[in-house]
Amino acid sequence: MINSYLNNQNDSWKNSGQQMVMELFQQMAERVPAYKDFLRKNKVDAEKVTSFEHIQNIPPIDKPSYIDAYPLDALCWDGELANSHLISTSSGSTGISYLWPRSSEQTLQIAIISEILYREFFEAHRRKTLFIITFAMGTWAAGTSTLMATDWVAQKGYPITIVTPGMDKTEILRIVKEANKYYEQLILVGYPPFIKDVIDSGLEQGINWQQLRLKFFLGGESFTENWRSHIQNTTGVKNPLTDIVNMYASADVGLMAHETALTILLRRLAASDSKILEGLFSDKRLPSVNQFDPRLRFFESPQGELLVSSRSGIPLLRYNTKDVGDVLYFEDVKLRCLEQEIDLQKEFNNVDSQRLLWQLPIVYLFGRGKFSATIYATNIYPEYVKVVLDNPNIINQTTGKFHLKTQEEIDYSQSLHLHIELKEGVEPNDHIADEIQRIFIAQVSQLSSEYSDTISIVGAKAYPKVALYKYGNSNYFPVGVTKKHA
Task: Kindly tell me if the per-residue pLDDT of 419 is higher than 60.
Answer: yes
CA distance linking residue 326 with residue 78, whole number of Å: 33
Give 125-128 contacts, CB < 8 A, sequence gap 24+. Answer: 125/158, 125/159, 126/159, 127/159, 127/184, 127/185, 127/213, 128/159, 128/161, 128/182, 128/183, 128/184, 128/185
Nearest Cα to 212, choosing from 172, 177, 161, 169?
177
What is the model's pLDDT at position 438?
97
What is the model's pLDDT at position 19?
96
- Give tens-digit pLDDT for 301-331: 999 999 999 999 999 999 999 899 999 999 9
CA distance linking residue 39 with residue 389, whole number of Å: 46
How much is the average pLDDT of 115-137? Answer: 95
Nearest Cα to 444, choosing from 484, 389, 482, 396?
389
Task: Kindly tell me if the per-residue pLDDT of 392 is higher than 90.
Answer: yes
- Alpha-carbon Rg for the chain, nearest whole angstrom, is 23
* Range of lowest pLDDT (49-53, 358-362, 366-370, 419-423): 366-370
Domains and CATH numbers, the chain: 102-367 (3.40.50.12780), 373-469 (3.30.300.30)
Cα angle, residue 358 at apex, residues 352 and 361 outer, rounded to 5°: 150
- Give tens-digit pLDDT for 39-96: 999 999 999 999 999 999 999 999 999 999 999 999 999 999 999 989 988 744 334 5
Cα dihedral sign, 400-455-279-370: positive
CA distance linking residue 141 with residue 99, whole number of Å: 10
Task: Kindly tell me if the per-residue pLDDT of 387 is higher than 80.
Answer: yes
Taking the model in full, what pTM does it have? 0.84
How much is the average pLDDT of 280-298? Answer: 95
What is the model's pLDDT at position 484?
46
Nearest Cα to 329, choosing from 3, 109, 18, 2?
18
